[in-house]
């Protein structure tokens, strides 16, 4: 069912007028006849409205740094931030060396009132010493939470002193939760730190094998990167590093040796991709390993970049083999899914990526959006120059990198680059908007009121989002699929992942559960009242 502008206006009219004006700019109905459709994004959520966003600390320590397995990640702050970010993201990892995998631990300085009053630097130094003594990690990160910035602890000075004392890299990140409007700020802060301190710290000048690549913006949620790497390995690529799923300090420090950087999640890691291009002359390719067709297309684009007949032939061979294996399975599930509709609202990439996979199952995405992405993730990177920086975005310093004198090497000539850019998304991302059908809706930073209203109007058959809104929606009788944690299933990426996804979504549809749920409003009136002598009460 399509929705009209009037219906959206009616929905927004319930807000106070300032809020109404604000939210209007975050919602658009796709209309390909329009010249362009601007959407507001990466601005503050209105206080008092509940949305799904996290904070800068979550984006830095939780998303980008957290999956690095051979580093211990210290949260400097009161215990809550460390505790509530402990094990909540399903970034899986396996140790490369015995004892060098610390992802199960939650290490916090557990600041108390006296630390807030008198400063927490001494306590932080003590915790770093303890961590080095007990775990003997390759490197340590320190992530600051809100009070650390408020009281002015100098975590950089503490880290520098500890580094001299202990002889291992200790990276400090001023990612206080309030630093930005969402976790997106934290991604940027973490990206800067990894480029400044980790990538290029290794002494390798050449990768260990042929077609060396880095896989950026892939966090191995539910084992996704293992499924992607299975294919890449088989085709013959050398995966130098994955940033940062199942990633390691050990791998990342030699990431400068890659000939191409793949970017899966543009939002969280495009800064690193851009900086590596400037520093080492390595272009990046936007890939999407969610969905069978998108995976095949990404592999073909990679082969085009390397332009080697043997690699191209091997790519086609593997694609043909995988298609023959997965397509009949997906066809079976498609019978259960065909004709249904979905909401696809996730953080910053998946709201776009999963639409292709839904389409392969015959499911139309009628509403999609991102919690915290920027305009370029909706409209394409060509809008970046016109995005105004506001007080919030100025909080995060842009790291100015220059070409590395010794290691900069143009991986492809400017002519070849221009030619490739006409064929494949090289150092470019076109965003979600171009892939959406006319009449579908894009919503930025969706909130709980709007979620319920959109559901009543569009009546989707499946709601794809996360833990924060899942149960409200299920109580409305609609199956919900978590696209952050995969409801403890997965992998969903690559060829094998698509089959898992098709199975899980089909299970959602055929479950008899829905016959037993009667939403409360179907049994009781939403409002009750009575008529008295004085009037209506
Ligand atoms: Fe990138 Fe992510 Fe996402 Fe993200 Fe996240 Fe995540 Fe996400 Mo949850 S890095 S933007 S900050 S793809 S944790 S693995 S699922 S919101 S859409």
Q: Is 144 a catalytic residue?
A: no
Tell whether ligand 1 has an atom less than 6 A from the beta carbon of residue 349: yes
Tens-digit pLDDT profile for residues 201-217: 999 999 999 999 999 99
Ligand 1 centre to CA of 203 (Å) is: 31
**CA dist., res. 62 & res. 83, Å (int):** 11
Q: What is the pLDDT of residues 31-46, one digit of tens each?
A: 999 999 999 999 999 9
The one-character DSSP state at 51 is: B
Mean pLDDT across 483-506 = 98
**369 CB within 6 A, ligand 1:** no
Q: Kindly give the distance from the C-alpha atom of residue 485 to the centroid of ligand 1, in angstroms, as a whole number.
A: 10
- Identify the residue whose C-alpha is closest to ligand 1 atom 17: 347
Q: Which atom of ligand 1 is nearest to the CA of 346?
A: 17
Residue 484 CA to ligand 1 center (angstroms) comes to 7
The larger pLDDT score, comparing residue 389 to residue 318, is at: 318
Residue nearest to atom 10 of ligand 1 (CA): 348
**pTM across the whole model:** 0.95
pLDDT at 518: 81
Confidence check: pLDDT of 61 > 60: yes
Burial 309-344 (b: 16+ CB within 10 A, else e): eebbebbeebbeebbeebeeebeebbebbeebbbbb
The mean per-residue pLDDT over the stretch 379-386 comes to 97
Cβ–ligand 1 contact at 375 (below 6 Å):
no
What's the confidence (pLDDT) of residue 411? 97
Q: What is the pLDDT of residues 96-153, one digit of tens each?
A: 999 999 999 999 999 999 999 999 999 999 999 999 999 999 999 999 999 999 999 9
What is the distance between the alpha carbons of residues 388 and 371, in angstroms, rounded to a whole number?
A: 19
Asked if residue 475 lies in contact with residue 306, where contact means CB atoms within 8 angstroms, the answer is no
Residue 273's pLDDT is 98
Cβ atoms of 222 and 486 within 8 Å: the answer is: yes
pLDDT at position 535 is 63
- CB distance 350 to ligand 1 below 6 Å: yes
- Predicted confidence band of residue 536 (pLDDT cuts 50, 70, 90): low
Contact yes or no for 217/350 (Cβ under 8 A):
no
Can you tell me the distance from the alpha carbon of 148 to that of 242, in angstroms, rounded to the nearest whole number? 31
Active-site residue flag, 55: yes
Residue 58 is a catalytic residue = yes
Backbone conformation region of residue 187, classed left if phi is above 0, alpha if psi is from -120 to 50, else beta: alpha
Structure tokens at 64: 């980008």
Residue-level pLDDT at 138: 93
Residue 529, pLDDT > 90, answer: no
What does pLDDT average to over the chain? 96
| 220 in contact with ligand 1, CB cutoff 6 A | no
Question: What's the pLDDT at 519?
Answer: 74
pLDDT of residue 176: 98
pLDDT at site 1: 53
pLDDT tens track for 147-177: 999 999 999 999 999 999 999 999 999 999 9
Ligand 1 centroid to residue 347 C-alpha, Å: 5
Q: Is the pLDDT of residue 275 over 90?
A: yes
Element (H, E) at 156: helix 155-166
């Amino acid at each position: 069912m399509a929705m009209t502008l009037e219906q959206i206006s009616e929905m927004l009219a319930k807000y106070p007028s300032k809020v109404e004006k604000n939210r209007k700019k975050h919602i658009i109905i796709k209309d390909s006849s329009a010249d362009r459709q601007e959407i507001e994004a990466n601005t503050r959520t209105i206080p008092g409205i509940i949305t799904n966003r996290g904070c800068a600390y979550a984006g830095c320590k939780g998303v980008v740094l957290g999956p690095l397995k051979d580093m211990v990640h210290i949260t400097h702050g009161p215990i809550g931030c460390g505790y509530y970010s402990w094990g909540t993201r399903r970034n899986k990892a396996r140790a490369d060396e015995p004892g060098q995998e610390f992802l199960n631990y939650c290490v916090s300085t557990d600041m108390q009132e006296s630390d807030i009053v008198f400063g927490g630097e001494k306590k932080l130094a003590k915790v770093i010493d303890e961590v080095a003594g007990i775990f003997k990690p390759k490197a340590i990160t320190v992530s600051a939470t809100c009070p650390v910035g408020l009281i002015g602890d100098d975590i950089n000075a503490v880290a520098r002193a500890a580094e001299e004392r202990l002889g291992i890299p200790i990276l400090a990140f001023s990612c206080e939760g309030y630093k930005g409007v969402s976790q997106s700020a934290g991604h940027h802060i973490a990206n800067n730190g990894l480029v400044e301190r980790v990538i290029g710290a290794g002494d390798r000048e050449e990768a260990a094998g042929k077609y060396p690549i880095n896989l950026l913006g892939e966090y191995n949620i539910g084992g996704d990167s293992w499924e992607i790497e299975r294919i890449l390995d088989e085709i013959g690529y050398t995966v130098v590093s994955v940033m940062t799923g199942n990633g390691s300090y050990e791998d990342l420090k030699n990431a400068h040796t890659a000939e191409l950087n793949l970017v899966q999640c543009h939002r969280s890691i495009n800064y690193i991709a851009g900086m590596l291009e400037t520093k080492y002359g390595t272009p990046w390719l936007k890939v999407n390993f969610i969905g069978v067709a998108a995976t095949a297309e990404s592999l073909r684009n990679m082969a085009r970049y390397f332009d080697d007949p043997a690699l191209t032939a091997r790519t086609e061979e593997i694609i043909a083999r995988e298609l023959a294996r997965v397509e009949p399975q997906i066809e079976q599930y498609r019978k259960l899914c065909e004709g249904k509709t979905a909401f696809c609202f996730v953080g910053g990439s998946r709201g776009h990526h999963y639409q292709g996979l839904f389409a392969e199952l015959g499911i139309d995405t009628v509403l999609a959006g991102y919690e915290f992405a920027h305009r370029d993730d909706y409209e394409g990177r060509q809008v970046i120059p016109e995005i105004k920086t506001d007080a919030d975005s100025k909080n995060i310093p842009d790291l100015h990198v220059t070409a590395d004198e010794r290691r900069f090497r143009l991986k492809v000539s400017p002519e070849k680059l221009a030619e490739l850019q006409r064929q494949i998304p090289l150092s470019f991302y076109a965003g979600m908007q171009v892939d959406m059908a006319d009449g579908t809706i894009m919503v930025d930073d969706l909130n709980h009121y709007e979620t319920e209203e959109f559901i009543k109007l569009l009546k989707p058959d499946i709601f794809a989002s996360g833990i924060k809104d899942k149960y409200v929606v299920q109580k409305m009788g609609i199956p919900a699929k978590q696209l952050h944690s995969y409801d403890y299933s997965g992998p969903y990426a690559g060829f094998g992942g698509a089959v898992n996804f098709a199975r899980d979504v089909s299970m959602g549809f055929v479950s008899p559960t829905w016959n037993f749920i009667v939403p409360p409003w179907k049994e009781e009136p939403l409002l009750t009242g009575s008529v008295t002598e004085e009037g209506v009460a």
